Structure 1
Amino acid sequence: MRCEAFLEVLKYLYFTRPYNTMKLGLFRIENLLSRMGNPHSGVKYFHVTGSNGKGSVTTFLEYLTYYHGHSVTGFYSPHLSTILERFHYNTRYISQDEFVEAALEVKKHAEEMDKLGEEFTPSFFEYMTAMYFYITKKSRAEYGSVEVGLGGRFDSTNVIIPEVSVICTVSLEHTNVLGNTVEQIAFEKAGIIKEQKPVVVGAMPDSALEVIKQVAREKNSMVYEYGKDFYVEPVQFSFNANVYNYYGSTTIKNIKVKLNGKHQLYNVGLALKTFELVEKIDEDGVKRAFEEAFIPGRFEMVNDIVLDGSHNPQAAEKFAENLDLYFPEKRKAAVFGIVDDKDKEGVLKVIGPKFDTLIITRPPSKRAEKVAETYEIAKKYCKNVLFERDYIKAVELLKTTEAEVKFVTGSFYLVGYVRDYLLNGKIGEELMIGGA
């Protein structure tokens, strides 16, 4: 019965709300939260944006807060295998019951707004945001660690007054919405900076940094820059057991970090600097937080298969870098699938030569029909390329290869479904609702 109610709510959200429809502006979320009694008030927040890294930094801040003895919620997007990944309380996903309760609470108020016309109808993400604030208020959490959905200035999370704002990186992304230059995108992300609240910034182009500094000056906000006010040095890169030293207001050495990749070096620094602006750092708490912090499907090993996304050339570069870093001399095979509107050539050019065998498959998405095209491109960049349209059969084929390390990569749709299959032996009803 519990699962049925959860699935019914999911159907309502996916098919009644404008799912995958972007609605910028804050007036809908402000109206919705006002009707709910402003559940976002009275909580200390960390607010994190960036072209890359924001999910990791938000995660690190949640774990740091929890392991320093505070109750904390986390808000993330998108999700991989279950919508519950979006909502954390004290580093754990909320339950289906809690999800249903929050969704039904928001529904009452959202449907009143629907009557005002399409312009006032809360979007899927605005609905999720309102649910997060309801969950945070209901749990009486002291802190919230909040990842921006898109941009910053008009993102529905931008109704909070955070203790610290974080801007991880700025690069060209979502140019149809955020602008065509890094300066324009930096301005949108700088929209989360609040009056007299500090902002912590990562490595980025000078022109983007200058835009952020200008907004900070206007808001009387202190700026803390990676490489100038704090930095991190790597001690060891080892799969699931990377080690870093942090130098900021405090120095902490030999921090073991489960999350993989050289880029985590910046994310570790951003999270620690942000946290030490509001809390006295406890070394044991820091070490426990980073050793436990986890994000599904990010260079994660599940049942002897490493899962990671490489859905665009930038992600492919990081993925390839990690292959060289963690498995340099190993024979490698991968299942690869990508949706049709992505830069297939740009991705396969980078990752194809890294594998002894590539198995091309179709991600479970309506946007992935030209699998034969992917197969032809792959053959240009890898010597041994196989084709298996059914992604479950492709995974089973991968298991039979003689590779020492096996991967599933490409679209996050593919990674999410395969992760569910590897953990549960089947694709769950929740994923099937979304429709492949």
Structure 2
Amino acid sequence: MNFPEILKYLYFTRPYNTMKLGLFRIEGLLSRMGNPHSGVKYFHITGSNGKGSVTTFLEYLTYHHGYSVTGFYSPHLSTVLERFHYNTENISESEFVEAAMEVKQFAEEMDKFGEEFSPSFFEYMTAMYFYITKMKKVEYGSVEVGLGGRFDSTNILLPEVSVICTISLEHTNVLGNTVEEIAFEKAGIIKEGRPVVVGAMPQSALEVIKQIAKERNAKIYEFGKDFNVEPVSYSFNENVYNYFGESTVKNIKVKLNGTHQLYNIGLALKAFELTNKLNEDNVRSAFENAFIPGRFEMVNGIILDGSHNPQAAEKFAENLELYFPGKKRAAVFGIVDDKDKDSVLKVIAPKFDTIIVTRPPSKRATKIEETYEIAKRYCNNVLLEPDFIEAINILKNTDCDVRFATGSFYLVGYVRNYLVNGEISEELRIGGA
């Protein structure tokens, strides 16, 4: 199979976004593969927000301190290759195909036992990641949890350090209806005798994590108590922080934008510091280079970022005022129908002089007229253009100081792909949304 063929197999045989909780499938799959996850030092990261940034920072810190490292991320934005990093770069299409074909034979053995034993898309991806990690013979892995922690397929690994970034109400249909229940699920990544680093969170959630850490003899390190970060200055793509932990590192320049990165920086540095002594030059190099596509990122004159829920919208609005105060702003905006459109637009729409409402390329986004009517409540100049490519072209010709594409990550991923390539890639056309 070539890359397009294996993608079709994965997307349509292992339905994307189909969730299966529990560890028995991944245990069976990895056992058949010879347990490729063993023998590597892992950082394991979960949290309601920030886990992708912390996983990225740890990957870059590890690489810039001279170690070989793989990274595992989800979901992807514009290409499935973003899920698998080797020494901070996406793997190649040929490496993806090799890993997918290796897992395929064992996954199909399990399929024969029935639907309950058939590995899901994410379990398949997890097995591919561990195969890649083994083939690359790396020293470290930086692994982002897919959902929750306790029953996530990544929880098969034994970490050097576990990280729990934040706890808030999310995925309540799966993880629980209170922050305490969600904290219990995420604390499932804490392993016997392995340290855990935790971020700022509600006290009741922290108490749950502390209790589980105590039961598992896992020493806990708390942001603001055992380590800290202070901001020095904020400027778009060049934010400066000081870190205070076992070591002190000052004037760390960080490309990733947003005041919330302060917490993620601290969590990553503390987790890494528990395994290695920090080298100031290597720390600075890591954070200057650390990058996540589509996170307040400028691509061809348009800033891309997600604002798909009220929490993300608040951060996005904060960043608008932080980096572009007093500027005339315009945006393409699209969101799927099952999100809280009113709460999101109430926060961000007043920040724009012009909003072009469009349809994210998703089956879950059909009510764009509804989105348009809501946007008009909060912004004086709102246009409706269903085709997102045409919406981007209108944005490019809009009279303003700074331009954005925001809302659903489906939209951001497609827009980024279009801006980089000048067309929508075959991969995105295969996967759809």
User: Which residue is equivalent to 1:7?
Assistant: 4
Distance in 2 (CA, whole Å) between partners of 1:303 and 1:242 is 21
User: Which residue is equivalent to 1:300?
Assistant: 297
User: Which residue is equivalent to 2:52?
Assistant: 55
Distance in 2 (CA, whole Å) between partners of 1:106 and 1:226 is 39
User: Which residue is equivalent to 1:178?
Assistant: 175
User: Which residue is equivalent to 2:152?
Assistant: 155
Distance in 1 (CA, whole Å) between partners of 2:279 and 2:166 is 27
| 1:278 correspondence with 2:275 | yes
Distance in 2 (CA, whole Å) between partners of 1:136 and 1:144 is 7
User: Which residue is equivalent to 1:110?
Assistant: 107
Once the two structures are TM-superposed, the CA of residue 434 in structure 1 deviates from its matched residue by 1.3
Letter in 1 for 2:287: F
User: Which residue is equivalent to 2:241?
Assistant: 244
User: Which residue is equivalent to 1:200?
Assistant: 197
User: Which residue is equivalent to 1:91?
Assistant: 88
- SS at structure 1 position matched to 2:156: coil
Once the two structures are TM-superposed, the CA of residue 19 in structure 1 deviates from its matched residue by 2.1
Q: Deviations over 1:183-225 (max 9, x none)?
A: 0000000000000000000000000000000000000010000
Q: TM-score, normalised by structure 2?
A: 1.00
Instruction: Work out which of the residue numbers 308, 324, 332 in structure 2 matches 1:311.
Output: 308
- SS at structure 2 position matched to 1:217: helix
User: Which residue is equivalent to 1:22?
Assistant: 19
Distance in 1 (CA, whole Å) between partners of 2:253 and 2:427 is 34
Once the two structures are TM-superposed, the CA of residue 20 in structure 1 deviates from its matched residue by 1.2
Instruction: Work out which of the residue numbers 131, 135, 145 in structure 2 matches 1:134.
Output: 131
User: Which residue is equivalent to 1:212?
Assistant: 209
- SS at structure 1 position matched to 2:377: coil
Structure 1's unaligned 5+ residue stretches are: none
Once the two structures are TM-superposed, the CA of residue 250 in structure 1 deviates from its matched residue by 0.4
- SS at structure 1 position matched to 2:268: helix
User: Which residue is equivalent to 2:367?
Assistant: 370
Distance in 2 (CA, whole Å) between partners of 1:234 and 1:248 is 15
Once the two structures are TM-superposed, the CA of residue 18 in structure 1 deviates from its matched residue by 3.0
Letter in 2 for 1:338: I
Letter in 2 for 1:254: N
Distance in 2 (CA, whole Å) between partners of 1:184 and 1:374 is 33
- How many residue pairs match? The answer is 433
Once the two structures are TM-superposed, the CA of residue 329 in structure 1 deviates from its matched residue by 1.1
Q: Which runs of at least 4 in structure 1 moved beyond 6 Å after TM superposition? A: none
User: Which residue is equivalent to 2:319?
Assistant: 322
Distance in 2 (CA, whole Å) between partners of 1:427 and 1:23 is 31
User: Which residue is equivalent to 1:405?
Assistant: 402
- SS at structure 2 position matched to 1:423: helix
- SS at structure 1 position matched to 2:330: strand
Distance in 2 (CA, whole Å) between partners of 1:412 and 1:161 is 31
Q: Deviations over 1:92-115 (max 9, x none)?
A: 000000000000000000000000
Once the two structures are TM-superposed, the CA of residue 279 in structure 1 deviates from its matched residue by 0.3
User: Which residue is equivalent to 1:122?
Assistant: 119
Letter in 1 for 2:429: M
- SS at structure 2 position matched to 1:9: helix
- SS at structure 1 position matched to 2:155: coil
Which of 15-24 and 271-280 deviates more? 15-24
| 1:417 correspondence with 2:395 | no
Distance in 1 (CA, whole Å) between partners of 2:140 and 2:235 is 32
Q: Deviations over 1:139-197 (max 9, x none)?
A: 00000000000000000000011000000000000000000000000000000000000
- SS at structure 1 position matched to 2:153: coil
Q: CA RMSD in A?
A: 0.6
| 1:387 correspondence with 2:384 | yes
Distance in 2 (CA, whole Å) between partners of 1:73 and 1:42 is 13
Letter in 1 for 2:181: Q
Letter in 1 for 2:359: R
Distance in 1 (CA, whole Å) between partners of 2:264 and 2:157 is 22
Once the two structures are TM-superposed, the CA of residue 16 in structure 1 deviates from its matched residue by 0.4
Once the two structures are TM-superposed, the CA of residue 435 in structure 1 deviates from its matched residue by 1.9
Distance in 2 (CA, whole Å) between partners of 1:104 and 1:270 is 36
Distance in 2 (CA, whole Å) between partners of 1:285 and 1:88 is 19
Letter in 1 for 2:81: L
Which of 4-13 and 315-324 deviates more? 4-13
User: Which residue is equivalent to 2:218?
Assistant: 221
Q: Deviations over 1:259-292 (max 9, x none)?
A: 0000000000000000000001100000000000
Q: Deviations over 1:42-101 (max 9, x none)?
A: 000000000000000000000000000000000000000000000000000000000000
- SS at structure 2 position matched to 1:100: helix
Q: TM-score, normalised by structure 1?
A: 0.99
Distance in 1 (CA, whole Å) between partners of 2:158 and 2:80 is 26
Distance in 2 (CA, whole Å) between partners of 1:7 and 1:434 is 10
| 1:80 correspondence with 2:77 | yes
Distance in 2 (CA, whole Å) between partners of 1:117 and 1:361 is 41
Distance in 2 (CA, whole Å) between partners of 1:369 and 1:27 is 37
Structure 2's unaligned 5+ residue stretches are: none
Letter in 1 for 2:33: M
